Amino acid sequence: MKKLNSFLKLAWQVSPDYLLLLIAQGVAAAAKLWLNLILPKFLVDELLGDRNLQAVLFFGILMVANNVGMTWLEKGFRRFLEGKENYLRNEMNKKMAEKILNLEYSYLEDPYYLDLKERAVFAISNQDAIANLVSRISEVFGGMLSLAGVLVILVTLGPVMIAVLLAAVLAMLFLYKSMSAKVVEVMSNLIPYNRKYGYYYNLHTEKQYQKDIRLYHMEDMISDRTKAYATEVCDHMEELYIKEGRSFGGVSVVNDAVAAICYVYVGLRTISSRFGSQISIGSLTMYVSAAIQFTGSVFTLGEGVITVKQVLSYLDPYMEFMALKEETAETGKTPFEGPVETVAFSHVTFTYPKAEKPVLTDVSFTICRGEKISFVGLNGAGKSTLVKLLCRMYRADSGEIKINGKNICDYDYMSYMKAIAAVFQDYRLFNFSIAENISCQEAGADEARIRRLIDEVGLREKIDGLKNGIESRFGKEYDEDGIEMSGGEGQKIAIARALYKDASMVILDEPASALDPIAEAEIYEKFNSLVEDRTAIYISHRMSSSVFCDRILIIDGGTVADYDTHEHLMQKTDSLYYRLFESQAENYRLKEAAGR
Amino acid sequence: MEETKQKRGQATYRTLPVILRLMKNMKREDPAQIVRIVCYTVVAGLYPFLAVFLPKLAIGILEAGGADVERRLIAAMAVYFAAAAVLGYAGKRLMYILEARNMRMRLFYLGQMGKKLMQMDYRYVEDASFWEENDRAMNACNNNAFGMEGMYNRLYRIPANLVTICGMLMLAGGLSPWILLALIAHVLVMMWASRQNHKYRYERKEQQAKAERRIRYYYDTTHDFTFGKDIRIYNFRDRILLNYEREIKSLNALIKKLAKHEYLIGLAGIGTLLVTTSLMYGILIMQTLSGMPVSSFAMYVSLISSLMAAMLTLGDDITFLQNEGQYVGDAFRLMDESLQEEGKEEITLDGTPEIVFEHVDFRYPGSDTYIYKDLNFTIRKGERLAIVGVNGAGKSTLVKLMTGLFEPTAGNIYINGIDIDRFRKQDLYRLYSAVFQDVNVLAFSIRENVTGGVRADADTADMAGSAADADDTRVMEVLDSVGLGEKVRGFEKGLDQMMLKIIDENGTDFSGGERQKLSIARGLYKDAPMVIMDEPTAALDALAEAEIYENFSDIVRGKTAVYISHRLASTKFCDKIALFDRDGLREYGSHEELMEKKGEYYHMFTVQGKYYQKEGEAV
């Protein structure tokens, strides 16, 4: 009930008119049904009694009006509901998107939340849970209304019929209970299978896998696995279908019994007053239809309640996700002002959530304004983690990171973010125009500056060749005329973006991995002039890049192994830095190369 | 784009043949289903009559009156109940079994479609228009409510419905023909409206798909956690949400238009409904007033409503079959079409290949820009060739051409003197062990990730115990030689350890370097005559890079090999170097020759090596 409540609240926020429309629809459906029970009674009574032409025609016209008018109304409802339902579905997705964008970043790298998101998305997209739930809730609502209306009619017949119907309801409840247990069982069994099936089915169509599939002849392996899971899903579903066939068969028998008993009982009431006050044949049709309608309503109601319960349980991951803590909720108050003067890590230890071992232990170092620092270490040493901590994507377990003498977490988040620009190794571009990707602004960007940066990162030729120049949009999925860029070109855009941002600290994490040697060298050689007087941090596996830097921070096994200039480090011939540098350098020594 | 469209043809599959094909497949795959349909037709065809007769039966007895009216009423109702219970129960049981089996029938198509997609020529994979055009066709095998399963679920109930309708029409024979005419007109108008509506929507499906794709973009971007960092650092959040909302609104405007059209078309149905119900009540009331028993009045009212419902269902089913038949027809066309253009000869090469490019022109389908113009170039037998060049020079495209993933726009490629066109695709793929920069680890066991599910020494997947053991030994061997043996032995399940967490929560994931090693192990296991490495070390640290270089010599022993990289150090262990620029092959020769030449390669090498020189050694 609580879940239902919070879901309805969410839906109400998104689209109150959708819910109102559904309520109106439920009322109209119940009204139509009720009138269809009452009106024939008057008509038949009139036909069997006075046979007053005017009265007969009056009731006849009312019946026609009810049926036609209500059908018309239904169509009208459906016209608006389609749009609203679609809107609700997309908006609920957007709500989740909003949530993701507001989440504390650390959630985004935690496999648990990644999985939670997948599960939430699966329920919403694959089971169409939201639309399903809302329409079922309205069905339950309508079912209750009609049930109430029908009961009002049936009560006038006296207790016997109520008793019969009660017995029927009990029988149906019994059938439902066993079926609903099965539904819950099968459906909960099914979710993991469905997800697995979905994963393997996607391998058929996802572009990135297709080369491997063809060259390594994986199609049998994949299609066999997909089929195996599909068969598994079918096995479960078949079990459920067969159970449902039995139960619904039973329900149908109960319905027929109700109809037969009802005709007998009400029929007897029309003959004499032995079982209660005598009634008319017209009332007979009304009561019998009402009784049949009653079981029918119980039926839809029961079905609706089961589905609502079931779908609500699907929505658990969604609701759990929507309740996660948001980032902006806990930010310092001090606005960050002025350039970065000093960056100081003191005794920083950090463990990724749910990891056993810390990735950084007791890390301390200081960077001063305008310095160019290179972080060097093996894959997985913790270089990128340092960057993430600095960007406040995670918080240190212990120790402090201070900028200008103050813990970075005490600064207001938005103003702090303004001080940092970064190119990540998995940088992303968006399907906006090139200019917007660089300036991160829709309007009011400094076009001259964009052009200068494009020039400096070496993209001028490329962009001059485009029909729409810097206004060209990225991405074919968005626009047929959208442009695509190679990995190297994309990296150059990402670099330009970092440089456009007026931040006093620039972080470049593997910014040139996809660049060809010439472009890479150009970028590195220009870095110093590009970053101007900003404080800069580089991470690169190209050891030659560290030659440019003022100092090099060596991270080994989560601790600072050294922090010195290139010249000094190269004198320590047993150090990691020396080994790393030499392993690449030996391939480029011209003397040795000549001797090969 | 145009070429592919022409090649694929646009033959439309008509509804009737599609239905016949569906039924034929059903008869072959699950013949019992046909028997069930016959039984269902009898049972479900008769059942509605009981409900129609019931009021007449009961009211008739009551109207007639008489001494034993009570006994007769009870007896009649008992008979009614017995018949209804049996037919009703049997009908429901059959219905659910039928639908369960129909679901299974879908798997049959799913398997066919899946194979087709994974075997079709790779150029379709990269052709966005192919996916767009065939989206619904592919989904036809992948959906419960629509496509094949949807059609089967309509098809089985049509005969029963026809029985009901014919019977009821006969019963209604005594009725005024005007009512029946109005009824038929109403059903036809409803069918017409539904068809019009479908057409209207079908014509706008691309517009809708486009709007949905745009929403999808924002959905994907926000739901893909890897965008999280840039969105935060560059504060893209508000922009994205704003655009997202804008796109949702624009789709909504379209849907409103569609719904409005449906509504307006549907008004015609309201009109005929008005005529039909007015006629029905008017005529029946008049007849009753002039002497027809009320029991007949009740029967006819319920007869006509049942008939109307049955006919509307039939009409609905028929339009559904027509509409959905279009998509299923598309799916059948896709399955029938030859999406594999290949040679017919079974070719097994002797030894390692030599690849010759002769006057090759190439541009990607749908693009006007040529990647190569008149490319002439040879990869010699047993040679290790390094391919280097600037971004955008088409280095990776070269790999796609020689592996047969794409075909040259003009010119020829020869493998050991045999034109590549003559090869069957599978024989061609068999020639290469390829390792790419983006390593795709799949959620299968480590063994399956290495073998690709294909046993090197047996063609069949099931092998006898000893052969399987021998194969496992080989899998371990290759894992050892790339330096993953230790790690794999550390898993309790060994080679059966699942990769990734998406399927198995106890699955494992490797670091970037380990993934790259796994993919090299895959290449080693395949033991193909030719090895291709496409930027395998871009994301690796210097020591891991050096390790890969060492492995390289092991893998390529006695084979032809191509190594593509931005890191010119890779040229150290290659015999020849081909340097490509945006105009194609620029320089070719050994490292020494090219250094001597002091051309582009020399420039690149010195630029990259500049800062690796010891003091005083700078060039």
Kindly identify which residue of chain B lies nearest to residue A228, measuring between CA atoms. B107
Confirm whether B191 is domain-assigned: yes
Q: How many structural domains compose chain B?
A: 3
Option in B85, B226, B263 nearest A79 (CB):
B263
- Show the domain range for B373: 355-441+510-618
Q: Is B294 on the interface with A (CB under 8 A)?
A: yes
Cα separation of A48 and B296, whole Å?
Answer: 12
Option in A260, A501, A545 nearest B234 (CB):
A501
Confirm whether B194 is domain-assigned: yes
Lowest mean pLDDT, pick from A120-129, A160-169, B209-218, B517-526 = A120-129
User: What secondary structure letter does DSSP report for A486?
Assistant: -
Instruction: Say which residue, A383 or B554, is predicted with more confidence.
Output: A383
Contact between chains at B438 and A203 (C-beta distance less than 8 A): no
Please give the average per-residue pLDDT across B370-387, as a whole number.
90
Residue A32 burial class via C-beta count within 10 angstroms: exposed 0-12, middle 13-18, buried 19 and up:
middle
Among B47, B368, B566, the residue to mutate for chain A (most A Cβ within 10 A): B566
Last residue of a domain, one of B453, B476, B509: B509
Kindly identify which residue of chain B lies nearest to residue A93, measuring between CA atoms. B219
Cα separation of B268 and B185, whole Å?
Answer: 11
Option in A93, A497, A590 nearest B619 (CB):
A590
Q: How confident is the model at residue A374 (pLDDT cuts 50, 70, 90)?
A: very high
User: What secondary structure letter does DSSP report for B400?
Assistant: H
Option in B92, B425, B619 nearest A245 (CB):
B92
Residues A352, A527 contacting (CB under 8 angstroms): no
Kindly identify which residue of chain A lies nearest to residue B100, measuring between CA atoms. A238
Confirm whether B324 is domain-assigned: yes
Name the helix (H) or strand (E) containing A364. strand A360-368
Percentage of chain A beyond pLDDT 90 is: 23
Task: Tell me what pLDDT residue B192 has.
Answer: 93
Residues of chain A neighbouring B59 (CB-CB closer than 8 A): 281, 284-285
Of A585, A593, A550, nearest to B608 (Cα)?
A585
Instruction: Say which residue, B402 or A380, is predicted with more confidence.
Output: B402
Residues B424, B345 contacting (CB under 8 angstroms): yes
Tell whether B72 and B177 lie within a shared domain: yes
Kindly identify which residue of chain B lies nearest to residue A85, measuring between CA atoms. B252
Task: Tell me what pLDDT residue B456 has.
Answer: 47
Q: How confident is the model at residue B270 (pLDDT cuts 50, 70, 90)?
A: very high
Cα separation of B563 and B383, whole Å?
Answer: 11
Residues B445, B497 contacting (CB under 8 angstroms): yes
Tell whether B558 and B523 lie within a shared domain: yes
Q: What ipTM does the predicted assembly reach? A: 0.85
Contact between chains at A427 and B230 (C-beta distance less than 8 A): yes
Tell whether B326 and B456 lie within a shared domain: no
Contact between chains at A204 and B501 (C-beta distance less than 8 A): no
Residues B113, B334 contacting (CB under 8 angstroms): yes
Does the pLDDT value for residue B232 go beyond 80?
yes
Q: How confident is the model at residue A245 (pLDDT cuts 50, 70, 90)?
A: very high
Percentage of chain B beyond pLDDT 90 is: 40
Contact between chains at B223 and A121 (C-beta distance less than 8 A): yes
Residues of chain A neighbouring B287 (CB-CB closer than 8 A): none
Q: What is the dihedral of CA B128, B133, B138, B143, to 10 degrees?
A: 120
Tell me whether strands B372-379 and A420-423 are parallel, antiparallel or unpaired: unpaired
Please give the C-alpha separations between residue B590 and each of A591, B387, B500, B585, in angstroms, as whole numbers. Answer: 16, 12, 42, 14
Confirm whether B341 is domain-assigned: no
Contact between chains at B452 and A83 (C-beta distance less than 8 A): no
Tell whether B360 and B330 lie within a shared domain: no
List the structure tokens of A312. Answer: 């609500």
CATH assignment of the domain containing B386: 3.40.50.300
Task: Tell me what pLDDT residue A362 has.
Answer: 93
Give the CA count within 13 Å in the CB-facing half-sphere of A68. Answer: 22
Please give the average per-residue pLDDT across B159-172, as a whole number.
92
Percentage of chain A beyond pLDDT 70 is: 98
Tell whether B497 and B514 lie within a shared domain: no
pLDDT in tens, A328-347: 656 778 888 878 899 999 99
Kindly identify which residue of chain B lies nearest to residue A380, measuring between CA atoms. B511
Instruction: Say which residue, B617 or A86, is predicted with more confidence.
Output: A86
Please give the average per-residue pLDDT across B220-246, as a whole number.
88
Contact between chains at A544 and B612 (C-beta distance less than 8 A): yes
Q: How confident is the model at residue A590 (pLDDT cuts 50, 70, 90)?
A: low
Of A339, A478, A348, A333, nearest to A401 (Cα)?
A348
Residues of chain B neighbouring A221 (CB-CB closer than 8 A): 444, 448, 452-454
pLDDT in tens, A486-530: 778 888 899 999 989 888 999 988 877 777 777 887 777 777 777
Cα separation of A345 and A403, whole Å?
Answer: 9
Q: Lay out the sheet containing B410-415: strands in order across.
A: B372-379, B355-362, B410-415, B418-419
Q: Is B265 on the interface with A (CB under 8 A)?
A: no
CATH assignment of the domain containing B196: 1.20.1560.10
Q: How confident is the model at residue B296 (pLDDT cuts 50, 70, 90)?
A: confident
A566 to chain B, closest Cα gap in Å: 11
Contact between chains at A47 and B454 (C-beta distance less than 8 A): no
Tell whether B607 and B530 lie within a shared domain: yes
Residues 197-216 of B with CB under 8 A from A: 213-216
The distance in angstroms from the start CA to the end CA of chain B is: 49
User: What secondary structure letter does DSSP report for B215?
Assistant: H
Option in B100, B569, B619 nearest A584 (CB):
B569
Residues B545, B446 contacting (CB under 8 angstroms): no
Option in A101, A426, A489 nearest B222 (CB):
A101
List the structure tokens of B183. Answer: 């009824």
Task: Tell me what pLDDT residue B252 has.
Answer: 94
Kindly identify which residue of chain A lies nearest to residue B366, measuring between CA atoms. A480
Contact between chains at B511 and A497 (C-beta distance less than 8 A): no
B345 to chain A, closest Cα gap in Å: 19
Confirm whether B348 is domain-assigned: no
Kindly identify which residue of chain B lies nearest to residue A77, measuring between CA atoms. B263
Name the helix (H) or strand (E) containing B577. strand B576-581
Please give the average per-residue pLDDT across A256-281, as a whole number.
87
DSSP of B495-557, one letter per residue? GGPBBSTTT-TT-B---HHHHHHHHHHHHHHHT-SEEEEESTTTTS-HHHHHHHHHHHHHHHT
Cα separation of B219 and A183, whole Å?
Answer: 31
Q: Is B513 on the interface with A (CB under 8 A)?
A: yes
Task: Tell me what pLDDT residue B617 has.
Answer: 44
Cα separation of B110 and A287, whole Å?
Answer: 50
Of A386, A400, A413, nearest to A507 (Cα)?
A386
Contact between chains at A68 and B298 (C-beta distance less than 8 A): no
Last residue of a domain, one of B509, B524, B543: B509
Give pTM, 2 decimals.
0.83
pLDDT in tens, A156-199: 888 888 899 999 989 988 888 888 888 878 877 887 788 788 88
3-state helix vs strand vs coil in chain B, percent to 5 = 65, 10, 25
Confirm whether B464 is domain-assigned: yes
Among A263, A474, A576, A581, the residue to mutate for chain B (most B Cβ within 10 A): A263
Confirm whether B298 is domain-assigned: yes
Cα separation of A215 and B119, whole Å?
Answer: 11
Does the pLDDT value for residue B271 go beyond 90?
yes
Tell whether B455 and B520 lie within a shared domain: no
Tell whether B450 and B485 lie within a shared domain: yes
Contact between chains at A238 and B285 (C-beta distance less than 8 A): no
Tell whether B37 and B158 lie within a shared domain: yes
Confirm whether B112 is domain-assigned: yes
Task: Tell me what pLDDT residue A105 has.
Answer: 84
Name the helix (H) or strand (E) containing A95. helix A53-102
Rg (CA), chain A: 36
Contact between chains at A199 and B229 (C-beta distance less than 8 A): no
Tell whether B276 and B156 lie within a shared domain: yes
Q: What mean pLDDT is reported for chain A? A: 86
Q: Is B464 on the interface with A (CB under 8 A)?
A: no
Tell whether B329 and B410 lie within a shared domain: no
Cα separation of A536 and A506, whole Å?
Answer: 5
Does the pLDDT value for residue A126 go beyond 70?
no
pLDDT in tens, B19-60: 999 999 999 999 999 999 999 999 999 999 998 888 888 888
pLDDT in tens, A547-558: 888 999 999 988
List the structure tokens of B582. Answer: 């945006």
User: What secondary structure letter does DSSP report for A35?
Assistant: H
Instruction: Say which residue, B566 or A256, is predicted with more confidence.
Output: A256
Percentage of chain B beyond pLDDT 70 is: 95
Amino acid identity at B417: G
What residues are paired with B531 via a beta bridge?
Answer: B433, B561
User: What secondary structure letter does DSSP report for B460?
Assistant: S
Option in A68, A442, A583 nearest B239 (CB):
A442
Last residue of a domain, one of B478, B509, B540: B509
Among A92, A193, A197, A214, the residue to mutate for chain B (most B Cβ within 10 A): A214
Tell me whether strands B384-389 and A559-564 are parallel, antiparallel or unpaired: unpaired
Task: Tell me what pLDDT residue B457 has.
Answer: 47
Among B39, B96, B286, the residue to mutate for chain A (most A Cβ within 10 A): B96
Please give the average per-residue pLDDT across A521-544, as a whole number.
82
Q: Is B226 on the interface with A (CB under 8 A)?
A: yes
Contact between chains at A253 and B230 (C-beta distance less than 8 A): no
Residue B589: phi and psi, rounded to 5, are: 160, -175
Task: Tell me what pLDDT residue B10 has.
Answer: 55
Tell whether B426 and B450 lie within a shared domain: no
Residues of chain A neighbouring B441 (CB-CB closer than 8 A): none
